[in-house]
Structure 1
Amino acid sequence: MTGETRAQADSGVPVIDLSQAPGAVEGLRRSKLVTFSWHLVEYFLVANRLQISSRLRAAALRWYGARIGHGVIMRPGLRVKSPWNLAVGDRCWIGDGVWLHNRDRITIGSDVVISQETYMTTGAHAFRTNMALITKPIVIEDGVWVSSRCVVLGGAHIGRSAVLSPTTVAKGSIAANTIVSSPAPVVVGQRFDLSSSS
């Protein structure tokens, strides 16, 4: 794995050399000027902790390419990485401190509640090889309630009127009309296959 891992420590566990990781800038799909200007607008209008108008937040997002429906309420502290990759239906509520880290598309249906401090990310990394950026879209159907401090991962598809309990980690497909709660943390595998190391 030359160029991908540094010399193994005494434990025999490799470490990926991040100086060799492919850049993630390509995922922005906009010029540096547009991206920089969005960061300023996001800071002053969208992520602002003052209780300013939801209409003003929606207008700023639309200006940068987001599709935002009617009657959407956006609370203070909202962060959106790439507004051009965002579509929100009608009558949605987006709570305080929600972070949409969307290098890929996030599609939110109508009548959806995204509660406080929820984090959605369409990105991950090739963590066994070179830490290259991998993106997958997120789809949230109509009537879903994503309650507070949930994490929704790239590739998640949350079915109509499903509910995610607080702090749930959502990935893959979640059936319509279900209530989902994450179990306690468990080890699901090993990062590196150490059996082939010498």
Structure 2
Amino acid sequence: MFFDDERSNRLRPQILTELVSQYMNDAERARFYGLPESTRVRERVKIISPENLTIGEHCWIGEGAALDASGGLEIGEHTSIGLNTLIFTHSSWLANMTLQNHSGSDLIERKPVKIGKGCFIGGLVVIMAGVTIGDFATVQPNSVVAKDVPPRSLVAGNPARVFQKYDDEYIQSEVERVRGENARRRALAEERGDASSSWGAPAGDFTE
């Protein structure tokens, strides 16, 4: 049933690793992959060539994300990668075009991807090989990132382009807005006798 060749024996440990990891919680899964203890890795995440992945503290990888680190992948601290997001660091395009898409083809191209610290990468995003995403950047869901993203910018679309730039003053105003609104919601929840969340905002309708 199982092949006993070099390629099969090389791939099988990775397959078994992914299978075993499905029975772990997000913190256990991160530790199992040798990632920082503060990083959380959700279900069905696939990491290709994990030995080439460098990731910072307090990162979050969403369900079903595929991280191709075969060409080198760096993710900064406090960055979130949305569910079902695809990050590529290699391409077989030329091998396909020349009918040389066989195992071991020398037409596979690899380029590293670098994602800065404090980034928010939405769900269903595609990041192409060779892209650098600057610190504190936001990539909206369903975007295709084929070019570098400047720091402190919001990009969206296919191909993704810059829609907004933000500075420390804007971020601080948003921090104050969200914390104020969350405090209001928690106070209303307590008045109603609802169980209050220990972090963030309680769920429910809090319109006045």
Q: TM-score, normalised by structure 1?
A: 0.67
* Unaligned segments of structure 2, at least 5 residues: 1-5, 102-106, 161-208
Equivalent position of 2:144 in the other structure = 169
Deviations 1:57-99 (A, max 9, x none): 123212xxxxx22311111111112111111100011111111
The answer to whether structure 1 residue 44 and structure 2 residue 20 are counterparts is yes
1:184/1:140 CA distance change after superposition, 3 Å: closer
Deviations 1:111-144 (A, max 9, x none): 0010111011111122544552111111000011
How far apart are the structure 2 equivalents of 1:170 and 1:78?
20
| RMSD value, Cα | 2.2
Q: Measure how far apart 1:103 and its partner are.
A: 1.7
Equivalent position of 2:154 in the other structure = 179
How far apart are the structure 2 equivalents of 1:141 and 1:159?
5
1:81 to 48, 58, 81: 48
Count of paired positions: 147
The answer to whether structure 1 residue 92 and structure 2 residue 67 are counterparts is no
2:84 to 94, 97, 117: 117
How far apart are the structure 1 equivalents of 2:130 and 2:147?
6
Q: Measure how far apart 1:174 and its partner are.
A: 0.7
The 8 Å contact of residues 27 and 37 in structure 2, kept in 1 or not, is answered as no
How far apart are the structure 1 equivalents of 2:109 and 2:146?
15
Equivalent position of 1:147 in the other structure = 122
Local SS of the residue matching 1:181: strand
* Unaligned segments of structure 1, at least 5 residues: 1-29, 63-67, 186-198
How far apart are the structure 2 equivalents of 1:158 and 1:134?
20
Local SS of the residue matching 2:33: helix
Deviations 1:23-42 (A, max 9, x none): xxxxxxx9864532122111
The 8 Å contact of residues 30 and 37 in structure 2, kept in 1 or not, is answered as no
How far apart are the structure 2 equivalents of 1:181 and 1:173?
13
Equivalent position of 2:111 in the other structure = 136
How far apart are the structure 2 equivalents of 1:80 and 1:43?
12
**Which structure would you say has the larger RCO, counting Cα contacts within 8 Å and 6 or more residues apart?**
1
Equivalent position of 1:160 in the other structure = 135
User: Rg: which structure is higher?
Assistant: 2
Equivalent position of 1:60 in the other structure = 32
Q: TM-score, normalised by structure 2?
A: 0.64
Query: Identity percentage over the alignment?
Result: 23
